């Protein structure tokens, strides 16, 4: 009788365990469409996490294609441990939507954010963008009060020259926001994008005149490390 009861209990626990694992695994992935899109890219990140979940206390780089296309990010920042979670074409609204999926679970020591390019292109005003950034800061610090957040300025580009006035307004407001919020900083990479004559550096851009190349990224990295206090 005792043996029979133990067998039943074992089967019950095994069944519950399998059910839990299935539920946990099932819940990890985005099923169907979301209001902001990017389901495929987010699921790719979740698959990586299911194989090897990153250690906490590292540096998380997230945002749009400017982060996603930074192919040498880990080498450019070889002094630290980096998680790269950029998803191309994303906006601040999308990043806020997925904050519980690809930001907060990692419990990063530091977060570097690049958004704004696509927001302006989609008609989001600088004021609306700043509200979204403020929401992001609040959500992060509610769960991770010691995490430091760095926002990169929106970069100028040949492809989006018409947006320059709006970009300047957005960057000014973003800088003001970071001064008001604790453990939040603004890194202005715009001065790096111009040559000594004040023209945009063509040698920094890919053929689409929008995305920057790996040479530009390496220049950014050197500058960013001084601002972030990263040393060998």
The better pLDDT of the pair 99, 28 is held by: 99
Q: What is the pLDDT of residue 108?
A: 98
83-89, long-range: CB < 8 A, 24+ apart: 83/54, 83/58, 83/59, 83/108, 85/45, 85/60, 85/61, 86/61, 86/62, 86/114, 87/38, 87/41, 87/42, 87/45, 88/41, 88/64, 89/38, 89/64, 89/65, 89/118
CATH 3.40.50.620 is held by the domain 35-228: no
What six digits make up the tokens of 138? 């609040």
Residues 6+ apart with CB under 8 A from 21: none
Q: Which residue has the higher pLDDT, 143 or 2?
A: 143
Instruction: List, as own/partner pairs, every contact residues 96-100 make where C-beta atoms lie below 8 angstroms and the sequence separation is at least 24, other chains included.
Output: 96/132, 96/135, 96/136, 96/139, 97/34, 97/35, 97/36, 98/36, 98/38, 98/42, 99/136, 99/139, 99/140
For the chain, domain boundaries? 1-31, 35-228
Q: Three-class SS of residue 212?
A: strand
**Length of the chain counted residue by residue:** 232
- Average pLDDT rounded to a whole number, residues 197-207: 97
pLDDT classification of 19: cutoffs 50, 70, 90: very low
Query: Which pTM value belongs to this model?
Result: 0.87
pLDDT at 232: 73
pLDDT in tens, 21-78: 333 333 378 998 999 999 999 999 999 999 999 999 999 999 999 999 999 999 999 9
17 has a pLDDT exceeding 80: no
pLDDT given at position 18: 32
| CA–CA dist 224, 230 (Å, integer) | 8
pLDDT of residue 15: 34
Per-residue pLDDT reduced to its tens digit, 135-194: 999 999 999 999 999 999 999 999 999 999 999 999 999 999 999 999 999 999 999 999
**107-130 tens-digit pLDDT:** 999 999 999 999 999 999 999 999
């Amino acid at each position: 009788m005792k043996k029979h009861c133990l067998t039943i209990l074992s089967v019950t626990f095994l069944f519950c365990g399998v059910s839990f694992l299935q539920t946990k695994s099932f819940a990890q992935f985005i099923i169907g469409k979301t209001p902001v899109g990017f389901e495929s890219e987010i699921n790719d990140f979740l698959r990586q996490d299911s194989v090897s979940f990153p250690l906490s206390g590292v540096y998380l780089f997230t945002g749009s294609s400017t982060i996603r296309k930074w192919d040498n990010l880990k080498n450019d920042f070889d002094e630290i441990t980096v998680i790269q979670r950029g998803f191309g074409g994303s906006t601040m609204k999308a990043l806020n939507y997925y904050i519980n999926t690809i930001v907060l679970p990692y419990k990063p020591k530091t977060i570097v954010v690049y958004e704004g390019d696509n927001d302006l292109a989609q008609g989001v005003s600088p004021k609306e963008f700043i509200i979204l950034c403020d929401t992001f800061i609040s959500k992060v610090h509610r769960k991770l009060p010691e995490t430091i957040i760095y926002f990169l300025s929106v970069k100028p580009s040949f492809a989006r020259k018409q947006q320059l006035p709006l970009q300047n307004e957005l960057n000014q407001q973003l800088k003001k926001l970071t001064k008001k919020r604790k453990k939040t900083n603004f890194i202005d990479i715009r001065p790096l994008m111009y040559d000594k004559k004040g023209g945009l550096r063509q040698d920094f851009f890919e053929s689409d005149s929008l995305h920057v190349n790996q040479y530009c990224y390496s220049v950014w990295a050197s500058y960013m490390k001084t601002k972030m206090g990263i040393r060998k």
